[in-house]
Amino acid sequence: MSADTPLAPPDLSHIAPREQAEILSQALPYIRKFHGKTLVIKYGGNAMTDPALQQDFAEDVVLLKLVGMNPVVVHGGGPQIDEALNRVGKKGTFVQGMRVTDDETMEVVEWVLAGQVQQDIVGLINHAGGKAVGLTGRDGGLIRARKLRMRDRENPEAEIDVGQVGEVASIDPSVVKALQDDQFIPVISPIGFGEDNASFNINADVVAGKLAEVLRAEKLLLLTNIPGVMNKKGELLTDLTAHEIDEMFADGTISGGMLPKISSALDAAKSGVNSVHIVDGRIPHAILLEVLTEQAFGTMIRSH
């Protein structure tokens, strides 16, 4: 299929025309409510590796743009980075949910994220009828970073060196805003640059959260591979406050790779992003369902 071939519309013959109209009309209040608003979407997990879900994601983002919202995509790429590291004979290691990144790993991270993964996403969105543009933190001075000083959870006095892993020092959103004003959809790789022009690998959830704060986004949606935040019994929690999350950190309910995700969500909620959602990216059209319907597929996080 060439990039110019229009996508075939889904077969809705099993849904009566009246019901189709009903479904569309139910989206109207949400389209009105979020028109002109910025939505930051962290794209990762199965939604990024399953071809059918990739197409759903691209169609969702394009539709949101066409009805007047401003989606901004921040992507991860953990599985793709692991695959590339395996090819060069390296094994990825993680500490407290963060990838340990030496010089060689950083090179791989850059060419996978800013090359292969970013361009795949840009292509998907463009093929679905949108106008996507890929950015890294270097473009337009978007993401300034500094080396992450990570405290050992077991021994808070000790610091763990995770290499060229960064934290966000500052974000200059002017390049993102300029693209939005020109009807483009920004697709951002979570790579920042430091004082001496060094590159830093930054957790994509962290970048999405900080960007949502700086852009004063209406919503932050974090696509993930699980139904949402679960309690110790494995039950989905659909609505959580900052206080409840602090308790879940303390008793170990939230751990591993979920730590940076939930921390970013919490910081964004406390910093003025109206609603933050951990969304199950394995559900077809999860973004549309989250934004344009009452149906929630995940956990919403509120500041209080």
Its CATH class, for the domain covering 35-231+240-302, is alpha beta
**Which tokens is 123 given?**
């292509």
144 confidence band (pLDDT: 50, 70, 90) = very high
List of residues 6+ apart from 85 with CB closer than 8 A: 91, 92, 105, 108
Q: What digits encode the pLDDT tens for the residues 175-187? A: 999 998 889 999 9
Output the pLDDT for position 12: 57
Residue 27's H or E segment, with its range, is helix 17-34
201 is in an annotated binding site: yes
| CA 47 to centroid of chain Cα atoms | 11
Q: Tell whether residue 282 is among the known ligand binding residues.
A: no
Q: Where are the domains of the chain?
A: 35-231+240-302
Q: Looking at 102-142, which runs of residues are DSSP E strands?
A: 132-135
19-23, 70-74, 173-177, 244-248 — which is least confidently predicted? 19-23
pTM: 0.89
78 is in an annotated binding site: yes
Instruction: Encode pLDDT of 79-103 as tens digits.
Output: 899 899 999 998 878 887 778 899 9
